[in-house]
A and B are shown apart, each in its own frame.
Chain A
Amino acid sequence: MKTKRFIVNSLCHVLLAILSVIWVLPIFYVILTSFRKEGGSYKSYIWPKGFTLDNYANLFKPTSQIDFVRWFTNTLVIALISTLISAFFVLCVSYCMSRLRFKMRKPFMNVALILGMFPGFMSMIAVYYILKGLGFLETGTLKQIALIMVYSGGAGLGFYMAKGFFDTIPKSIDEAAYIDGASKWDTFIHVTIPMSKPIITYTLLTAFMGPWVDYIFAKVIMGQDTKYYTIAIGLWTMLEKEYVEYFYTQFYAGCVLISIPIAILFLLTQKCYVEGVTGAVKG
């Protein structure tokens, strides 16, 4: 009996080891290649002949086509502003849906449900033409503003998660505030918001990560304007046929650099997600 259990346990550990190697190898390869000394794209061997930090250093030396630092700041600014706007929208909408009772509440939630079923970028072309019609695609800066509006404009539809969280805050807390003479707005600002730290952090972080990983909208709006690219389209550009021979290793270096902050944010989000799902008031 004991030996049998030992064999099963060892087998399980071996299996886990094999699986985790499969899961870690690609990441390891990315890191390995980012330090590769030889330029060029694909090699007939895997282990690099030499190691260097130049790939990282070169990322900070802008060329006319590839400007990593600039893309990074572009994305950072866009992400920060759109985060604030969309988090504000999401919190407002979800609070209204959870706490206030008014005629349009159920219809609004149903419409949100229906809108969610259309493919996201079906409306992209129309958004593009609306922005063009409003003159937002004239210069690079305006394009960036347009991108911010696109990222945060429809944010109000993603209220489900935060609404679920607000639902878990007992109504009696609100009522106590009303009795003390607080208006509904005061209650929202001074009672509900301070109790909702996990969900606010979650909303902020998810909104913040959006622009870093969005490829498609950014590409359509920015077009060929490489100077104003965000990081995702920038990295994609490095893999295009005319660049891949020169920037292959730098692409990986860029990936590593981007992954580190995003990974940290992701781990933070996970923590808040768990707290957000389990509710505000702990028993």
Chain B
Amino acid sequence: MAADGKGKKVTKTGRPSDSSVLEALQRGNAITRLSFFVFGLGNLVNKQIVRGLVFLAIEVLYIYYMVTFGATSLVNLTTLGVKEQGQVYNEALGIYEYTLGDNSMLFLLYGVITVSITLAFLFAACMSMKSAYCTQLRRERGMKVPGFMDDMRSVREENLHTAMLALPILGILVFTIIPLVFMILIAFTSYDHEHQPPGNLFTWVGLDNFKTMLMQGSKLAATFWPVLGWTLIWAVCATFTCYILGLLLALLINRKGTRIKGFWRFMFVLSVAVPQFVSLLSMRTIFNANGPVNVLLRHMGVIGMTESVPFFTDPLLAKITIICINIWIGVPFTMLSTTGILQNIPAELYEAAKIDGASAPTIFRKITLPYMVFIMTPSLITSFTGNINNFNVIFLLSGGGPDTMDYYYAGKTDLLVTWLYRLTITQKDYNLGAVIGILVFVILATLALLTYRHTGSYKDEGAFQ
């Protein structure tokens, strides 16, 4: 925003295109101000026909949209529908017929879309005024007023960012932001399995969902807190076991005495190269009640010929199994990424330590580990947040099971994300799913605020340029 702060002072003499919307409102003449309401007026008056017409067309389209559709959808957004689907007796045919009711879900969706379009419209209004002011300034200073061809040319130069970002941002809006806003709003409604449109209406309920989710006493709270607990335990265990074991493995391979380093590395990289869902699904069958591990144990006489170790059906054992399998998956990744960093540790440090007579564990504790932690803290944080949201491992291995009656449609190994999945996809309690999503966001955001902002890469972004 540095350029911004300077801009306000400089624009009096600076380029007209640097002027801000606020300035246009303060210093603009009548036509410029009117451009806020009649799009493109300032451009049309000054013979920038194409630009003016484009602005005008945007306004006409918006008004047409609002009159035909938008206005009602805004009203519907506040009520989320009032007319329930009903049955009417048709005497001529002698049967009950459904009458069309309001669809709350669609109302909410259209409402969100209309609000976003309105925001875009307001943005266009500001742009129109700014554009008019810009032309006004050029006029006053006796500069050439750019025509349509000049506008086209500027897209390759000072307005390149608009051209390059337009499509990606549109994509992000449609596929990330609007859906996200929609889901966040659903957290404040009663859109659960008993209120499924089109048959039933749902409505705004304020913070009720959050209350039942967090307050003691309800079954939901009795599910939420244990699941949250396990999610955090899982994230900590998964991150640190993989990190430390991967580091040790990398050290073991890189130590001086080890021969055929490339071969050992290859043996471990092999499992990384296999697509994750393949290795997870195979692991699931391998640890199945009749899978090869149990068969092996039976043949070795550890367990009886008909018994099997409940790898995924005993709550505690399932958790341990999952963490162990995750080690199998994660350690080679860490080994790969740490190998390069290990080789970069200045050799003088080690030599100095050796001269001082430090033992190998001391060197690891005093030199290697601090150095690695320093370099890898950002990636540790990323992998921690990644593990909180680690859907694949849980879903493909245990599916959240073993199920329990104590929980509200969750299993003993369910993470918050997999529970979110169950609640929305199988249980259709969309509002509860949305609440969990928001809570996960709150957890991650707090975490990020506490740690990420302190890392150098965020503060000094582009410092060396």
Instruction: Name A's B-contacting residues (CB within 8 A).
Output: 5, 8-9, 12-13, 15-16, 19-20, 22-24, 26-27, 29-30, 41-46, 89, 92-93, 95-96, 98, 100-103, 106, 108, 113-115, 117-127, 129-130, 133, 149-150, 152-157, 167, 171, 183-186, 188, 209, 212-213, 215-216, 220, 232, 235-236, 239, 248, 251-252, 255, 258-259, 262-263, 266-267, 270, 274
**Known contacts A156-B171, A263-B274: does B252 contact A103 (CB below 8 Å)?**
no
| B317, chain A: closest CB distance, angstroms | 19
7 residue pairs from A and B, CB less than 8 Å apart: A119-B389, A119-B417, A120-B389, A120-B391, A152-B171, A183-B160, A262-B273
B357 on the A face (CB < 8 A): no
B253 on the A face (CB < 8 A): yes
Q: Count contacts between A and B, CB distance < 8 Å.
A: 239
Q: Which of B158, B163, B276 is within 8 Å of A213, CB to CB?
A: B276
Residue pair B282, A129 in contact (C-beta under 8 Å): no
Query: In the assembly, what is the distance between CA of A42 and CA of B462, in Å?
Result: 56
> Told that A12-B257, A123-B176, A185-B163 touch, could you supply 5 new A-B pairs with CB distance under 8 A?
A42-B290, A103-B1, A119-B437, A124-B179, A126-B186
Q: Which of B160, B175, B267 is within 8 Å of A23, CB to CB?
A: B267
Instruction: Name B's A-contacting residues (CB within 8 A).
Output: 1, 3-4, 105-106, 109, 155-158, 160-161, 163-165, 167-169, 171-172, 174-180, 182-183, 186, 249, 252-253, 255, 257-259, 264, 267-279, 281-286, 288, 290-292, 295-296, 298-299, 328, 332, 336, 340, 385, 389, 391-392, 395-396, 416-417, 420-421, 424-425, 430, 433-434, 437, 440-441, 444-445, 448, 462, 465
Residue pair B440, A118 in contact (C-beta under 8 Å): yes
Nearest-CB residue, chain A, relative to B105: A129
Nearest-CB residue, chain A, relative to B447: A117
Q: Which residues of A contact B292 (CB under 8 A)?
A: 29, 46
Residue pair B249, A19 in contact (C-beta under 8 Å): yes
| B435, chain A: closest CB distance, angstroms | 10
Q: Which residues of A contact B424 (CB under 8 A)?
A: 124-125
| B4, chain A: closest CB distance, angstroms | 6
| A264, chain B: closest CB distance, angstroms | 8
Query: In the assembly, what is the distance between CA of A103 and CA of B11, in Å?
Result: 14
Residue pair A89, B167 in contact (C-beta under 8 Å): yes
Q: Which of A30, A103, A188 is within 8 Å of B4, CB to CB?
A: A103
Main secondary structure of the interface of B (DSSP, over half): helix
Nearest-CB residue, chain B, relative to A103: B4
Q: Which residues of B contact A266 (CB under 8 A)?
A: 272-273
Q: Which residues of A contact B276 (CB under 8 A)?
A: 213
Main secondary structure of the interface of A (DSSP, over half): helix
| A99, chain B: closest CB distance, angstroms | 9
Q: Which residues of B contact A171 (CB under 8 A)?
A: 465
Q: Which of A89, A114, A129 is within 8 Å of B109, CB to CB?
A: A129
| B90, chain A: closest CB distance, angstroms | 30
Residue pair B444, A117 in contact (C-beta under 8 Å): yes
Q: Which of B105, B175, B284, B299 is within 8 Å of A127, CB to CB?
A: B175
The interface centre, meaning the residue of B259, B417, B437, B440 with most chain A CB atoms within 10 A of its CB, is B437
Query: In the assembly, what is the distance between CA of A130 and CA of B180, in Å?
Result: 12
**Known contacts A89-B168, A92-B164, A183-B157: does B258 contact A117 (CB below 8 Å)?**
no
Q: Which residues of B contact A167 (CB under 8 A)?
A: 462, 465
| A24, chain B: closest CB distance, angstroms | 6
Q: Give the 6 A-B CB pairs with smallest separation, nearest first.
A: A156-B168, A153-B175, A126-B179, A263-B273, A122-B437, A123-B179
Q: Which residues of A contact B282 (CB under 8 A)?
A: 26, 29-30, 252, 255
Nearest-CB residue, chain A, relative to B259: A13
Residue pair B274, A118 in contact (C-beta under 8 Å): no
**Known contacts A23-B332, A43-B295, A220-B425: does B277 contact A232 (CB below 8 Å)?**
yes
Q: Which residues of A contact B106 (CB under 8 A)?
A: 133
Q: Which residues of A contact B165 (CB under 8 A)?
A: 92-93, 96, 108, 156
Query: In the assembly, what is the distance between CA of A235 and CA of B252, in Å?
Result: 37
**Known contacts A117-B448, A119-B420: does B258 contact A12 (CB below 8 Å)?**
yes
Residue pair A184, B156 in contact (C-beta under 8 Å): yes
The interface centre, meaning the residue of B1, B105, B175, B425 with most chain A CB atoms within 10 A of its CB, is B175
Q: Which residues of B contact A92 (CB under 8 A)?
A: 164-165, 167-168
| A133, chain B: closest CB distance, angstroms | 6
| A13, chain B: closest CB distance, angstroms | 7
Q: Which of A16, A46, A127, A185 is within 8 Å of B253, CB to CB?
A: A16
| A254, chain B: closest CB distance, angstroms | 9
**Known contacts A115-B176, A153-B175, A263-B273: does B259 contact A46 (CB below 8 Å)?**
no
Residue pair A123, B295 in contact (C-beta under 8 Å): no
Nearest-CB residue, chain B, relative to A127: B179
Q: Which of B174, B180, B385 is within 8 Å of A122, CB to CB?
A: B180
Q: Which residues of B contact A130 (CB under 8 A)?
A: 109, 174, 178-179, 182
Q: Which residues of B contact A115 (CB under 8 A)?
A: 172, 176-177, 180
Q: Which residues of B contact A220 (CB under 8 A)?
A: 425
Residue pair B391, A262 in contact (C-beta under 8 Å): no
| B444, chain A: closest CB distance, angstroms | 4
Q: Which of A101, A153, A235 is within 8 Å of B278, CB to CB?
A: A235
Residue pair B295, A45 in contact (C-beta under 8 Å): yes
Residue pair B283, A26 in contact (C-beta under 8 Å): yes
Q: Which residues of B contact A186 (CB under 8 A)?
A: 156
Q: Which of A183, A212, A236, A270 is within 8 Å of B336, CB to CB?
A: A270
Query: In the assembly, what is the distance between CA of A67 and CA of B289, in Å?
Result: 29
Query: In the assembly, what is the distance between CA of A153 and CA of B180, in Å?
Result: 14
Residue pair B281, A236 in contact (C-beta under 8 Å): yes
Q: Which residues of A contact B275 (CB under 8 A)?
A: 209, 212-213, 258-259, 262
The interface centre, meaning the residue of A19, A101, A270 with most chain B CB atoms within 10 A of its CB, is A19
